[in-house]
Structure 1
Amino acid sequence: MSGHKDITLYTSALAPNGWKVAVVLEELGLHYDSIYIDLLNGEQLTTTFTQLNPNQKVPVIIDHTNDNLVLFESNAILLYLVEQYDTHHRISVVGKDKHLLDQWLFFQAAGQGPYYLQFFWVSRCRADAQPSTTERYRDETLRVLGVLESVLNKQEWLVGGKTTIADISFVTWNVVAFSALETSDIHLKKQFPAVYR
């Protein structure tokens, strides 16, 4: 297969969701090419990219081994990749644990990602942000970290007793949160040691 890539990943160096897909592609040993979209210059808004993802967000994958299937939404991509390629369940689970894994992926997509992004945006990119807005998203980020801490201080991984795509889906966003909260008076290593670990 030298030179042949199974998957094309459209991503951005700035996108935690793109990085988590890259981590899963690496974990599964898949051959892929990354195409970096310049979000700051609006490349995601072009007609060419919009044909891949009408929502104009990264990541997007094209699976060339599966009739050039195009998928967007990072957690949908993660589920597809493990269902298609993780036949030995190295980073996925089966049975009732599969439902628990889905639960965490939904929580990540609906809770962690949006709140962390908004907190990062208002605290780092908007000098004119109202203090109440910054405080709201900071508090929601801390709440999500607290949810994760309440589970991870009792067990090493979110589900199945091993690293899964559930854990991977949170890691890249946690890096963003820890970076954004680092300058405040919050002591993340002390308050959320299990998440930090």
Structure 2
Amino acid sequence: MSHGKQFTLFSHKGGPNGWKVAFVLEELGLTYETVYLDFQKGEQKAPEHTKYNPNGRIPTLIDHKNNDFTIWESGAIIVYLVEKYDTEHKISAEGFEERIEQLQWLFFQASGQGPYFGQVAWFTFYHSEKLPSAIERYQKEILRVFGVLETVLSQREWLVGDKYTVADISFIPWNQTAVTRLVAGYEGFNFEKDFPSVAKWHNKLLAKDAVKKVYAVKDSLQ
């Protein structure tokens, strides 16, 4: 493993959670090398990775300039990065209450967005048999989560403290997957019409330079 760059990020070419960490690293100008694990070969469960992450999933981050400090779970990785390296609060909340609010959204993303959106992806593309009732259940959860976001974003520009933060960034990959693949054909779903504030917010996120740079890398790997 090369230590020419500060971080090693274990990720996956398609999996959403590694990409949101890459967005944060890019926004903070931190140097990193990404190791894309091949899930078909079970590399995420191999000892070479589980020695860093006993859960055998991605992402995993190693900070070579902090005694090879290793952390897994994307939300925890993001908190680590902004607490240690975003001292000017470029993309993170500053006051105590706003930091808790930021944490609230990171928890909601990890518990309310990721798992439900992920279940739609699983039952739509990977499950051994088609279960329309399961797909519909979780598609409705996607719409519910969009509804929660719409309620908040119809009243403010960003999720926390009227500024662009990691709370916003954390939602990008799964929202993009949902809009383009998971509910694109669901009962006349129209993102801009059904959830106008969420759509406006999401498009602003996609227009960020760091996000465009990382997505260009992702597109090159397909």
Give the TM-score normalised by the residue count of structure 2: 0.85
Deviations 1:149-174 (A, max 9, x none): 11111111000111100000001110
C-alpha root-mean-square deviation of aligned residues, in Å?
1.2
The runs of 5 or more residues in structure 2 that have no matched partner are 201-222
**Structure 1 residue corresponding to 2:192, chosen from 186, 189, 192:** 189
What is aligned with 2:206?
Answer: none
| Mean Cα deviation higher: 18-27 or 185-194 | 185-194
Matched, 1:90 2:79: no
Residues paired across the two proteins, number = 195
Q: CA deviation at 1:122?
A: 1.1
CA distance in 2, matches of 1:26, 1:8: 13
> Which amino acid letter does the alignment assign opposite residue 142 of structure 1?
L
Q: Secondary structure at the match of 1:102?
A: helix
Deviations 1:23-76 (A, max 9, x none): 000000001111111123211111111111111111000000100001000010
Pairs within 5 Å for 1:98-117: 98-117=99-118
What is aligned with 1:24?
Answer: 24
| Mean Cα deviation higher: 41-50 or 64-73 | 41-50
What is aligned with 2:170?
Answer: 169
CA distance in 2, matches of 1:41, 1:153: 44
Q: Secondary structure at the match of 2:51?
A: helix
Deviations 1:114-163 (A, max 9, x none): 00000111123337232211111011111011101111111110001111
The runs of 5 or more residues in structure 1 that have no matched partner are none
What is aligned with 2:158?
Answer: 157
Q: 1:190 to 1:127 in 2, by over 3 A?
A: farther
CA distance in 2, matches of 1:169, 1:129: 30
CA distance in 2, matches of 1:40, 1:72: 21
Q: Secondary structure at the match of 1:93?
A: coil
Give the TM-score normalised by the residue count of structure 1: 0.95
